[in-house]
Amino acid sequence: MTTRLTDREEEFWGAMQRRDSSYEGIFFVGVKTTGIFCGPGCPARKPLRQNIEFFASPSEALHAGYRPCLRCKPMNATGNVPALLEELRQKIEDCPSRHLRDRDLEDLGIEPSTARRQFNRYFGMSFQAYQRARRMGSALAAVRKGSKVLDTQLDHGFESPSGFREAFAKLFGAAPSKASSVHCLFARWIDSPLGAILALADDSGLYVFDWVNRRGLEREILRLREKTKFAIVPGEHPVLDQADGEIGEYFAGARVSFTLPMASRGTDFQRRVWAALLKIPAGETRSYKDIAKAIGAPTAVRAVARANGDNYRGIIIPCHRVIGSNGALTGYGGGLARKQWLLDHERKVADRQ
Ligand SMILES: [Zn+2]
């Protein structure tokens, strides 16, 4: 993770010119004219400055519609990709519009459940999600550029118009032809050392900020969509830039609290609980009982625990700082390993300050 990319574009451009290998994994560069993204040290011919855009992670570049460069293989930048995953990734790139199913994997002599597990661990997204992101990202880019929906659908291997619309609607909430006319919540996948985070925001602030694989996230997004009738589309928004920047600083140990605008969400009770969570200093923990007392409802411990679990703006609203009265970690939507990591990290950062 890095601080805001836009502040560092000149620096990155310089690093590209020098093919500076110390920037490997720090930024990725999408070339608009070819639709390919590269790592900083790609040996391919240099694109023009006005034809490139920078990304903090391969995942962001994929969702913006770019495909990985075959020469510098930017998905590999963060370490050595296991051979199996490299083979899979290669298979997708051989024919990006094709949908590889379990059957196809078996034909290739690959055990589907092993592949799924490894893919998830290494790339922070499932194999299915990678394929979808790759296809939908490029389909959306084509729709935005003015391609006819039908052409786009044929180019991206969706068998029927309804199949394409369904896939689009399922992921982003609007049928392709309507992508520009409804109110949009903008979505971004943000990579972190602990895995990918999904952020949703609009002008009123942040709606969702949580682990992509967090328990209940899909249900929460469906609920949000039903309630607001907003479409959810991958896109750019200043709040997302800010979220990306601030969470980068958080993981780098440079900040423990956030200044992000927050969209108004939840019941009155939930909002009181979340406000109390925001008052727990980093490096410290509170029990559910403490929070119940703090909001003047000392007997509502269970309701407090529920409201804590209903927070879908993790880390920003630090529900991970609430633990059991006996000191046990108890639950966390993103998994106890992450909760422990976040608490350890914050303790270290708080000690330094
Ligand atoms: Zn390259």
Q: How many CA atoms lie within 13 A of 111 on its CB side?
A: 4
- Number of structural domains (the chain) is 3
- Which position among 69, 72, 184, 319 bears the catalytic label? 319
Residue where a domain stops, chosen among 111, 146, 170: 170
Q: Does a structural domain hold residue 326?
A: yes
Residue where a domain stops, chosen among 22, 54, 79: 79
CATH of the domain at 302: 1.10.10.10
Spacing, Cα 198 to ligand 1 middle (Å): 27
Q: Do residues 166 and 88 share a domain?
A: yes
- Render pLDDT for 139-162 as a digit per residue (tens, 0 to 9): 665 655 556 555 666 666 655 556
Give me the pLDDT at residue 271, please: 97
Q: Which domain holds residue 273?
A: 268-352
Q: Does a structural domain hold residue 195?
A: no
Beta strand pairing call for 67-68 and 36-38: parallel
Query: Does residue 69 have an active-site annotation?
Result: no
Query: Does residue 95 have an active-site annotation?
Result: no
Q: Does a structural domain hold residue 259?
A: no
Q: Does a structural domain hold residue 209?
A: no
Q: Do residues 113 and 158 share a domain?
A: yes
Q: Ion ligand 1 — residues with CB under 5 Å?
A: 38, 42, 44, 69, 71-72
CATH of the domain at 88: 1.10.10.60
Closest C-alpha among 144, 143, 174, 243 to residue 202: 243
Give me the pLDDT at residue 227, please: 85
Q: Does a structural domain hold residue 221?
A: no
Q: Which residue stretches of the chain have pLDDT < 50?
A: 1-3, 77-79
Instruction: Retrieve residue 96's tokens.
Output: 């990006």
For the four alpha carbons of 82, 92, 45 and 2, in that order, the dihedral sign comes to: negative
Q: Do residues 51 and 128 share a domain?
A: no
- Beta carbons of 23 and 15 less than 8 angstroms apart: yes
Spacing, Cα 201 to ligand 1 middle (Å): 32
- Which position among 38, 42, 72, 184 bears the catalytic label? 38
Q: Alpha carbon of 206 to those of 3, 46, 55, 264: distances in Å? A: 19, 37, 21, 9
Spacing, Cα 31 to ligand 1 middle (Å): 10
Residue where a domain stops, chosen among 170, 190, 205: 170
Spacing, Cα 46 to ligand 1 middle (Å): 9
| pTM metric for this prediction | 0.55
